[in-house]
Amino acid sequence: MNPWYLLYCKRSEQTRATVNLNRQGVDCYYPKVTVEKMKRGKRVQVEEPLFPCYMFVSFDLEKVSFTSVRSTRGVSDFVRFGAYPQEVAKELIFSMMSQEDNDDYREQLNDLPTEGDRCTIQSGQFEGFDAIYKEPDGDKRSIMLVTMMGKQVEVSVPNTSI
């Protein structure tokens, strides 16, 4: 089993990068989610990447080099922690793959709060704080208005924390 790595792609070029990487024998995965958007004054269902500009890749290091992957059209670079690309746990990738095909998971993503809803953060450093949902951003994280020490502070927390 080949290790998985996280790539940072050029804006809106994940599909191009996937095509070019597949030609080199690289396995690519980027989870997608269906969201409702306004287009020409009408609400439409659109499928978009769950993590814009990011893609998970797996390849045989004896056949494909880091340099050739990094130099592929549509790819910016590997996400690194230090000098070398950081490996991503295989369990995380397989878990995302299995949940993406799960209808319950899709419903959970579509059941996000709407602007102005009051909620309580259930995990992370702000656990237990009351918050007001503001808006989702491109990374499917929620920007929350958290009441802390008498004033509101904007923080970004994962959707799984609300």
Task: HSE, CB side, 13 Å, CA atoms: give it for residue 98.
Answer: 6
User: Which domains are present in the chain?
Assistant: 4-110 (3.30.70.940), 118-161 (2.30.30.30)
Conformational region of residue 69, where left means phi above 0, alpha means psi within -120 to 50, and beta covers everything else: alpha
> How many residues make up the chain in this entry?
162
**Max Cα-Cα span within the chain:** 58
Structure token pair of residue 153: 């502070």
Residue 64 pLDDT: 92
Residue pair 60/51 in contact (Cβ under 8 Å)? The answer is: no
Residue 151 pLDDT: 45
Residues 12, 97: Cα–Cα separation, whole Å? 21
Q: Which residues contact 61 (CB under 8 A, 6 or more apart)?
A: 2
Residues 32, 22: Cα–Cα separation, whole Å? 18
Structure token pair of residue 56: 């998970």
- Claim: this prediction has a pTM higher than 0.75: no
Residues 101, 14: Cα–Cα separation, whole Å? 20
In single-letter form, the type of residue at position 103 comes to: D
Residue 124 pLDDT: 67
Kindly give the confidence (pLDDT) of every residue in the chain, 162 residues in length, as a single tens digit, with 9 standing for 90 and above: 799 998 989 988 999 999 999 999 999 998 887 777 888 888 888 888 878 888 999 999 899 999 999 999 999 999 887 888 888 888 888 877 887 755 555 555 556 666 777 777 776 666 777 777 666 554 443 333 333 323 445 555 566 555
Residues 49, 128: Cα–Cα separation, whole Å? 30
